[in-house]
Each structure stands twice: as structure tokens, then as C-alpha cells.
Structure 1
Amino acid sequence: MDAEFVRNTIWALRTFGSEDSGIEAKRAESKLPESLAESLSAFANTPEGGTVLLGVDESANFAVTGVTNAAKVQADLAAMARDRFTPPLQPSIGMFEIEGKVVICAEVVELPRDQKPCYVTSKGISRGSYIRIGDGDRRLTSEEVQQLISDRGQPRFDQETVQEAELDDLDPRAIQVMLARVRSNNPRLFANESDDVVLKMLGVLKKAPDGDLRPTVAGLLTLGRYPQQYFPQLCLTFVHYPTTTGENPATSTRFLDNVRVDGPIPEMAREALAVIQRNMSRRALISGTGRQDVWEYPPEALREAVVNALVHRDLSPGSRGTQVQVEMYPDRLRILNPGGLFGAVDITRLGEEGVSSSRNSSLLKILEDVVIPGESRTICENRGSGIRTMRNELSRAGMSPPNFYDRVTSFEVVMPNHTLFDEATVRWLAVIGRDGLRDTQRTALALMRRNEVLDNAKYRAATGISDSRIATTELQDLVARELVEQTGTRGSARYSLSDSAKSWEEADDTKRVRPNRRRQFLDLLAAHGNLSKSEVSSLLNVNVKTAEHWLGTLRREGKIQFAEPGRGSKNTRYRLTDKADQGEIFEV
């Protein structure tokens, strides 16, 4: 955190005209506002935490009003964080002079899952826990608080015995298929055991207080005849809406299709996919092999999304009244399940290799050996590869990556219904990327062309890059090429399409003229003899990254060289070489 970070943050707030989910600005001229406690709690409970700016007035377009007696306000803020919350908070706090006034900046990191929720002690855990939604703080409901508490350890709701259930509630054919598979795959453990013993070892059956073996929640959901007999809402619902907002007011049409899907998870997954497919149409995919007619959504991506929702849903008593919901709109498909992300997984690391955590460990273990009806493969592999498969399948179909939303008591997957690389986008990329772009950068630019604003995590999610440093390098290269504009720095950096890139929307518009940066840089060095990177940036009124990009490009081409020692430093100076022909016309 430094003054430049604070200045960029304020500039971003003014540019977009509102706070985002990670920033809270408050006037706080002489004392801390009471509402600050809610923001600190919210940031501590929200993925990626957040930043508080004191001395910035949101109501006056984020004018810097400053903080009087800043040392006292800073000390009061540290004391509030330490003394008024359970668990205590330790934000990073700094004072900075911005536009001639003092602004206090506090960065609040997200608490580990085993310490959530952070709450205002005097209000108690039920009424004093908050979360950040959009640009506001919202009190967590009692259910959300209990969800966070239960997620501190490994939930065991799937291992509960269903007291009213009997062995006859399980499907004997499905049981025999699974038993044959586990005995074949692991004869050392299961070959010589009776059916009941194996089912007990796998968590399908459990001894009840009366001494009888009864199905568990996991057993019923995987191998039951009709689990909804005991849990009516542990089902899946599908609704196909006629408009992007739902009901069509012109015709009073509420939906085009409305289906409830019951049964064990294998049957629900199979039937749900069939229902979605019958509501899909086909579209044309233009690729190197020509035109192909493909489904609106890749079937394998749909399968992973539906199965994930069914197996990772929250099974605690408070969530058993909520279904897995699938909603189809003309522009998107939305899949929502009760229960947010669990364990070591957070929204920024979804799909990373080796990052996996399961809320329903017993359920997932059983499903490793339960086959999909009519197929030979099992419901899930339990290897944490579902998100990667989803992204890869959508990318292979030329579509935008899925969007994920973690909201403590729910998790949402949204698949946009459009081709990312349509003909117009391909033409546009061919023009703006004449100097060569990586495929990952092309994907990001195509998303930004659809008004997406990316950060490092979203860039990695969209491109499949796992290393945040590589993502930053590629994003900074786009900034240097003047294709992308950056607001904020470090963790708060956001990237959107530049006005220059937007001006080339029509790829066949040959009348548009872009600045010939090679010519400008060579002419500038010819006029001044030698210059530093910062001097070039100032004289040409381009950002430092752009100056760095073109100086490096021209040096690799042999047209400029270092003028004096100091290479690698911001003070390095550059001059022309004998190869720089001033009469040559350089293509941008």
C-alpha cells in the first residue's frame, strides 16, 4: 500500500462513479463513522477482503475531503479493529497526502474459513456479522452464520442415519452394480466381506440407535429408490424463461418449460441433462475445419456443472428445503445450489490443479463407484477436475468461460450463451493484434470487447493460466500495446478495453489511422539525441508501460541501443543505431 495505490483507487472510483465490492469510501473528517464497523466485518468475511478510505466523500463524486487530526483517527481505527470484533482484526493502516489533504487507507484481509464469521462483539454473532454485496454491507442471516460455523470443520450431514428409512428404500440393482465394481477394483478390502459390511464400510448404511442398519443421507441420495420420500426438496428444478429477465410481459408467458426432477443423484443428473438438451437449439461454430453445427452449450460442460451442483450442495437441516435450480434464459444458463464454497477452495483458485475440497465427503466417495444410468462411467471422479473440464469444453466450443459466484449459503454458475470468437471479433483481433498476441490475450480482449472488466483472477480463470505472475505480465503487455486500460494497482488492478482498441471495432475500416509509435519514437530520439524511458513517456504523453514496450521492441530490432551505463534502471538512456533509417516507413 502506497500513495500511488490510493491515488489510483480514488481515480477508479471517480471513473466508474461508485464503489465496488472491495472498496468503501467514507468522509470521516474528525472521527470514525459508526457504520465503519459493519464494513470491517463485511470485508473480513468476504472473499479477497477490501479497502477502506477515510477522508473521501462518496456523495461528492469521491472528492478528497481529508482527515483532521489524522494520527488520532488512525489510532481509533486500529483500536476499533482490535477491540470491537470477534475475532480481532489487524488491518494494514497508512496515512497518505492526496491532493494536499490527508487520507487514511486500511486494507482488511479475508479471514481464514475456520475463523469466520467476524462479528461486532457487542451485537453478538447472529446480529453482528456482515458480508459485502456489491458496494454495500449486508447483515448475514442466521442460516448464513450457521453455514460459516459448520464449515469450520468437515460437515457430516451426509453421514447421518435416516431414522425412518429401511433397507428396502435402496435400489437392489444399483447396489449390486456398485458392489461388483468396488470388489473388482479393490478385492483386498471388499472381496471377502458380506454385502451389508461393504455397504457399511462405504457409508451407505449405518447402525441406528435401535441397533438396526439403516440408510444414511448419502446412501439414499446415491442408491435410493426415491430419496424425496424423506427429503422432498432435495431435488432439481428446471425453468426455461422466454426473456432475459424472465417472464414475457407482452404475452404473460411465465416460462417455456418447467420441470421438477426427482430420484437419486445419478438419475437426477441424467434426466436434468436430457431436459436441458431438449430446450437447447444448435448454432454454427466457425473453425479451421469449416462450419460445424453444435449445441448452444457443450454437453460435457453441462454435465460437470449439474453434477457439481448436486454433489456439493449443502445438506445441513437448514438447507434441505432448497432445491438445486437450473434456469435457462435466451442469453445465459444459470445453475444454483445451496451452500457456498467449502474448505481451502476460494473463488480465485477454482479449477487450479491440486486445489480441491469436498463438503460431502462420504457422498462423493460413494459416487466414485456409482455409474451413470445407461453408461459405463461413474458419476464423478473426485479429483477436482470438474471446473477445468467445464472451462476447457466452453473454450473448445469458442464460448466465453463460465462465471462463478460464491455467496456464503449458495454457489452459482452462469454460462453466457454466445460465441466468443464470432466473425466480427476474429476480424477485429486480426487488426489490433498485428504485432502478435498470445491466444490467452486474444481471449481476454474478446471478453473485454463484450464489456467485461477483468482482474488477475478473472484473467487466469478465462485463460487457464495458473501462475498469477504470468497473468500480470500478459495483462501489462496489453496495457503497453495501448489495447487495454488499467485502473488501480496491485490487488485492486482492473483492466478494460482502451478507447484506441474500441475505435477499431470495424476491422475493415481502412480509413482509421493509429499512431505510428515506431516513427514517433525514432523521430523523438533523432531530435533529442538520447532519452530515458520516463522522458519518452512524458514527451509523447504515453504511459510508462507503452514507452517500455516500444523501447524494448526497437532495441530488439536493432534500431536503438543503450546510450550509457545503467541498463535495467529507470534512468537508462537510449539512442539511435546506424540501422535506424529515418526514411523508412514503419508498419505499426
Structure 2
Amino acid sequence: MTPDELAALIVDLRQEGSDTPEIEVKRAAGGFPDSVLPTVSAFANTPGGGVIVFGLDERDGFAAVGVYDVVACKATLATKTRQALDPPATFEAWDLEFEGAAVLVAKIHEQPSHGKPCRVTSSGKAYLRSYDGDYELSQVEEQTFIANRSTPMFDQQVVPGATRNDLHPDLLAAYLASCRASSTALAAMPDDEVLYRTGVTTGSDRSPSLAGLIALGTYPQQYVPNAVIQASVAPRAGDPPGTRAADVRRFDGPLPLMLDEALRWVQRNTRTRVRFGIDGQGRDEPEFPVEAVRELLSNALIHRDLGPYALTQAITLRLDERQLVLSNPGGLWGITVDRLGKTGVTSARNGQLLRICQNVRSQEGNRVVEALASGIPAVLSSLRDAGMVPPRFHDQGISFTVAVPNHALLAREDLDWLAGLPAAATLGDRQRHALVAMRRGQTWTNQSFRETFPMDSREARTELAGLVEAGVATADGERGGRVYRIAAHLTGEALIPTARITSQSAPQPGNSPADKTSPNARRKNWDLIQRHLNTGDMTAVEISEATGLTARQVQYALQLMREAGSVALIGSQGHRDSRYRIVAPPQGD
């Protein structure tokens, strides 16, 4: 890490007002911090690891207070990571100076799968990073890590009590026909042999495997009750006070039926918009491309963790005014987030289920899996063709979440304007949306950009810098308060009034970090959070799920609301079971 990278990292922390999922700050001015081991354990268990910065004071706005002794701090960290953790954690460190103080930065490496979970030896506890805290693993989460030490084979296991009669006759007939049509070898086999050779049945009595039951069963939930999709719509402006969710549904049955019903539910709860193509013709298009939603649902159903510890959890699907969020038990297997969508890159947690679903069709005649390694590329392609930004993927090791922002489709005049702008040809999808918003009078900061286009602060900085490098935007102000505006040479035409490029509110003047001194800016999201807290005490995670706000938005608002005496924390800071309670209506700063 370079001094410039450290400076940028601290700017991001100051903008956030708290630690982040990837970065933890320790004061370390008076000695080695006692709270380091849980943080190292959490980062070692979290995909991608994380960074600990020694020598900053979070309570004083991340002021540089310096490390008590850099050499001693580094030596103590090395000793503790070797001797106080099982298995030992590894790290790399840098001695740097920031604002005249000595700072130590340590990058904690992720443990390989066979080394998870990494435990604190003295307590036997293991931790995981979530939001800005280190949380002790539950028994279910520990079992998830232990099971991931080897290739999962849960989908091949026998389902106790299930018989061939539990398979749906129509699905079974269509499956057998598809298998025989795609394989000369299978075409010559009797039905029972085809089912056994393709993994639908298993064991000496040829009873259904878990994969066969989930894909082709009449009602798999008789044996695996939580192999379902739990769907809900976030409260809307017109909903009665106290509403936590609308159109709550539980989709069950065989996998292809769940896929079809969940897809129809998304279409029913989202809007259709008119989009103008390059031929000038307006066409009705869904808020979320059907192909993208289908592929994401299919991926969640096929790649969810099927271990006994994970089958206590359902896939969750949530819609709000800003995004579609889909989460399934079990993180990525054999692949990392940065490789998703790359041509020919695939990895299957449930190899048997994946192969079966290549020959399973939904009620509408679509294959559940069209081709290996084609799902995520199809999602990215369909979103790009719709003029939308890519989804945001988050792998926590024990769960995998994808968020698809519902940015409005670009109108014909916007497409024409971009087409006549040579520099726009080099811009990405998010940058084009941001530039169109600038044309309408919008300004951007790092925080407002990443809240609108879900990403981390470094990605946002790169995207915004790309607009400046392309000559279509300017940046004013120092790091931490930098504001991006449309370039002067593009303002010859009158700025188009109107304001929103997404179905969520695009950050307006007075609501951006650049205006943090404004009372309205500091009260942003208070009313929304208070409305949900009025129904009862909630954790920060529950508030984030109920409101659709990001974890960082929730933490920032709650911090200010606590300072104003509007809410009280019931429990300990940074503990995921701690809850927040309304004390009095929020007061202005």
C-alpha cells in the first residue's frame, strides 16, 4: 500500500463515518489493542480478507493519533496471528505516515477453504465480518465452513422416506424425453436406468436423490421445508403505517415451478416503461429484463447450499423502489466474484442438480439451465442491452447476494445526445447514466455515486475519475468533499430540467455528502427508519432489509439519530443482535 492509497482509504472512512466491511480501524496509541483477534479471525473467514489500520481514532473522525510503537505493534500482531489463532492467519503490513503520525496498515489474508473457520484459540470462537462489526459465528455458520472444506455432494444424497412416487409424472416424462434426445447412450436405456445414471435416483433401491427430488418432485418441501423462495415487497409510500412488507409470498413446489412463479411475481410487482431504440421506435420494456431475472433466480435455486445446516434457510427475494435483491444460503464455490461473468468460467456447488436441470423445462417451455457458464454473462448482456447498470454481487462465504439497481432506461433524447458525443463511446454503463444525470443538473460525490450505483468507494472513485479523464466532467474540491459536475463545454445547451435517473431518488442538492452541514442532509432517511422502528425494536440488519437502505446508510443515520437522542441502542455497538428503539421523534441538528 502506498501513502496515496492510505490517504484515499482514510478519506473514504471519513466520508462513511464508520468502519466498513473491508476496513477496521484500531486506535493503538497506548498499546496493542485487545480487540484485534476477533477482527483478524473475521477477516480470515471472509472472502477477500480485509484491512486493519492501526493509529487512527474512529471516535475523533478517524484522526491520526499514531501507533504506540510501529515495530512492536507489528511484532505483536505477527505473534498473535501465529500463536493465538487456529489455524494461524497470515498478513502483510506497511509502515506509513499520515498527517504527521506513524500508521501501521495490515492486510489480513483470507484463509483457504480447508482452513476455515479460523478461531481465536483462547475462546474457541470464530468470527465473520459483516457491515462494520465482527460477529461470532453461529453453529449453523460454522457447519457451513466445515462442509466447504471439501467438494459439496449433498445434492447426491438419499432423501430418507422419499420414493419414486414422489417424482412428478409430467416432469419426469419430459425429463426422460429430453435426456434421450440429447444422448445416444441414454436413448438406449430403460427409464429406471436413465434416472439412475443421471443422478435423479440413487442407492440400491433407486430412491430419489436430493437433486432429483428438488428438480422433479411433486412437492419436495414435504422433506425439505425450507427449499423455497421467500419473497416480499418493501413498504411503499401509500402503505398503512407499520407495514413492514407487502405481497409477501412463499414459492414452493419443484424447482421449475418456483422459477416460473417467482418470475411472474417480479413482473407483477414492477413497472413497464417505454424505451426508444436507435430506430426511434418506442417499445414497452419491463423495469428489470426478464432474461436477467430468470437467470438470477435459476442461479439462486441451483447453487444454494443444500447441506443440512443450510436447509434451515430459504432463498430470499426482495423488491423495493431502488433495487431487486436476491440472496441464497451458501457463498460462491470454486470461483470468486471478480470472475463472475467471464466467458467459459463456471463452478457448481451442486453439480448433480445442475446437470439434471439442463434437461428440465419450466411450464413455459424454457430450460432451467440453457448452457454451462452462460447464466451470469446472459444477465450482464441483457442489462447492458436495456441501458441498465451491472448488478452488484456480494459473497460472504456463507451466503451470496445479488442486487440489481432499477435505474430508469435511457430515453431517446438521452441516447441521441450520447451518440453525438464521441467521448461517450469510451464510457461504461454507470458512467453514461451519471453523465445524463449531470446533463440534467445533477452533481456527484463519491458517496452519492456509490449509493446510486451500488459499489465500494474505490470503484466509485475510479468511475468518476474516468468521467474527468474523458473530458466530460470536472472535479472541484479536495478529497473528502470533491464534487463532480458536467464539463463546461457541454453546457452550451440549456440543462434539461427534471431530475431522476432512477426509480429511487437521485441525490439532490442538500442531500449529498458535500452538504453535510445542512440539517436536511443530516436527517436524510430518518423518517423512513423511524417509520419502521415505530412498529417495534429492530436490529440494524432488520432495518436495512425493511427499508431497502444500504447497511452504511442505516449505520450513518442511526449514529446521528442516537446523537440527537431520537433512538436508543439496546445492546452493544457492533453486535448483530443489538436492537434500536425509538426514544422521541428525531430532532434537527
Q: 1:238 aligns with which of 211, 217, 231?
A: 231
Question: Which runs of structure 2 are paired with 1:550-561 in the superposition (5 Å)?
Answer: none
Question: Which runs of structure 2 are paired with 1:79-228 in the superposition (5 Å)?
Answer: 79-124=79-124, 127=125, 129-187=126-184, 189-207=185-203, 211-228=204-221
Shift, 1:339, TM fit: 1.8
Distance 2:111 2:417 in 1: 43
SS at the partner of 1:263? coil
Q: 2:222 aligns with which of 204, 216, 229?
A: 229
Residue of structure 1 equivalent to 2:60: 60
2:431 and 2:467 in contact (8 A); partners too: no
Q: 2:330 aligns with which of 339, 348, 351?
A: 339
Q: Residue deviations 1:494-538, cap 9 Å, x none? A: 999843349999884479xxxxxxxxxxxxxxxxxxxxxxxxxxx
Distance 2:338 2:113 in 1: 15
Amino acid at match of 2:225: P
2:12 and 2:480 in contact (8 A); partners too: no
Q: 2:424 aligns with which of 437, 455, 464?
A: 437
Distance 2:495 2:313 in 1: 56
Shift, 1:161, TM fit: 0.8
Matched, 1:283 2:273: yes
Q: Residue deviations 1:340-393, cap 9 Å, x none? A: 2222x2222221223221111111111111122241x42103512211211221
Q: Residue deviations 1:97-133, cap 9 Å, x none? A: 3333321121222233332222212222xx2x22222
Q: Which runs of 5+ in 2 are unaligned?
A: 438-443, 497-589
Shift, 1:445, TM fit: 4.9
1:404 and 1:413 in contact (8 A); partners too: yes
Distance 2:75 2:333 in 1: 36
Residue of structure 1 equivalent to 2:47: 47
Matched, 1:273 2:263: yes
Distance 2:294 2:224 in 1: 23
Q: Which runs of 5+ in 1 are unaligned?
A: 464-470, 489-493, 512-588
Residue of structure 2 equivalent to 1:500: 485
2:275 and 2:410 in contact (8 A); partners too: no
2:153 and 2:350 in contact (8 A); partners too: yes
Residue of structure 1 equivalent to 2:297: 306
Distance 1:11 1:217 in 2: 50
CA spacing shift, 1:418–1:94, aligned 2, 3 Å:
closer
SS at the partner of 1:176? helix
**Stretch deviating more after TM superposition (349-358 or 217-226):** 349-358
Q: Residue deviations 1:46-77, cap 9 Å, x none? A: 23222222121111112211123322222112
Q: Residue deviations 1:25-50, cap 9 Å, x none? A: 22212421011112212222223222
Distance 1:105 1:401 in 2: 32
Distance 1:487 1:379 in 2: 51
Matched, 1:321 2:312: yes
CA spacing shift, 1:445–1:75, aligned 2, 3 Å:
farther
Distance 2:59 2:464 in 1: 33
Q: Which has the higher contact order (CA 8 A, sep 6+)?
A: 2
Amino acid at match of 2:214: L
Larger of the two Rg values belongs to structure: 1
Q: 1:402 aligns with which of 391, 394, 402?
A: 391
Shift, 1:146, TM fit: 1.3
TM-score, length basis structure 1: 0.73
Same amino acid, percent of matched pairs: 36
Distance 1:270 1:360 in 2: 21
CA spacing shift, 1:242–1:77, aligned 2, 3 Å:
closer
CA spacing shift, 1:438–1:475, aligned 2, 3 Å:
farther
Distance 2:421 2:30 in 1: 54
1:365 and 1:382 in contact (8 A); partners too: no
Distance 2:429 2:481 in 1: 13
Distance 1:424 1:215 in 2: 56
Distance 2:211 2:360 in 1: 12
**Cα RMSD after superposing both structures:** 3.6
Shift, 1:301, TM fit: 1.1
